Structure 1
């Protein structure tokens, strides 16, 4: 069965015009750097949502975030919003403000480490990677919201949501960089992301993975 969540994300990340618009709005970047960073962001967000949903408290919070993003109608105007148009919810400014809140809720204290990792992986600077993450977060959540409601007949079911997320993760499994993101989000290896929010970023891990390269 087709995974609509994965299909929507593939549609956007494979669209050169969409990637070029993102590149322009974050201050200018090479297309493939932006695409690589965007793929890393999708992997990080998907991993964080999957780990969050693994606990009853986390699943409740994730369902609340999805419900707050409505039916995914943001996707109907996303190109205009990314391009700096008025659009919905305050246009690009509203998109990024909403995105910053989503990123903080899902990644917590590991946000900086994930941005640093994706920056090194893609070659995109850290500030541009952070801005890109804020722009993409509402789009990722809206895609999941739209797919989840359609699959659930108008409502959300955490099992269906997890299947959609894990279907996206399977497409990138075996990619060493993506696997590293997942390991970093759960660096004590217990499968519980929420307790790791209290831990440090672990710069030694980053240095070991990338050899200090920029």
Structure 2
């Protein structure tokens, strides 16, 4: 089962309603925002895990259970841009998206930890798990990777690796 499907599966049985109440939105808007946010979050994490240092930092966040840290790992200083993007695609106000993302992060962390511990990635590591998910996301949601690259590429050079390295440097301070 994909990470995306597993997280969406966790939102059954009243969980989506609880999320909606916590952010002050209706379930339909919340569901749309979740479906827009998760591919971006997972793509950001996959990009981050492509370097040994990024994968190590991400694994530390998962072990520590720090949801906000997971968002920082995925989006760096560009979280507001992601919030605006999710808002535009889902119709949910950006302020409500900002409240939603930290609530989604623990769900994603839980699924990542479960799949990592069960050897869900082809190589058993976090990077391979996220790369496999990235491949599924690109098949299901073409353009997610390129859209995220444009959002995270702060200097416009077409590569996020230098931007990610800069974010990691700031994160470690």
Shorter-chain TM range is 0.7 to 0.9
Q: Are residues 1:46 and 2:14 paired? A: no
In structure 2, the partner of 1:201 is none
Measured in 2, the distance between the counterparts of 1:161 and 1:177 equals 17
Q: Are residues 1:103 and 2:71 paired? A: yes
Q: Are residues 1:180 and 2:157 paired? A: no
Report the 3-state secondary structure (helix = DSSP H, G, I; strand = E; otherwise coil) of the residue aligned with 2:14: helix
Measured in 2, the distance between the counterparts of 1:145 and 1:131 equals 23
Where relative contact order (Cα < 8 A, 6+ residues apart) is larger, the structure is 1
In structure 2, the partner of 1:61 is 57
* 1:62-211 mapped onto 2 (5 Å cutoff): 62-69=58-65, 98-151=66-119, 157-170=125-138, 172-174=140-142, 179-186=146-153, 188-192=157-161, 193-195=163-165, 197=167
In structure 2, the partner of 1:92 is none
Is this contact kept in 2: 1:6–1:164, CA < 8 A?
no
Measured in 1, the distance between the counterparts of 2:75 and 2:81 equals 10
Q: 1:11: how far off?
A: 0.9
Task: Return 5+ residue gaps in structure 2 as ranges.
Answer: 169-173
Count of residue pairs brought into register by the alignment: 164
Q: 1:67: how far off?
A: 2.6
Structure with bigger gyration radius: 1
Is this contact kept in 1: 2:67–2:102, CA < 8 A?
yes
Is this contact kept in 2: 1:23–1:31, CA < 8 A?
yes
The two structures have a TM-score, normalised by structure 2, of 0.78
Cα RMSD for the two superposed structures? 2.9
Q: Structure 1: which 4+ aligned runs deviate by more than 4 Å?
A: 176-179, 195-198
Q: 1:196: how far off?
A: 6.6
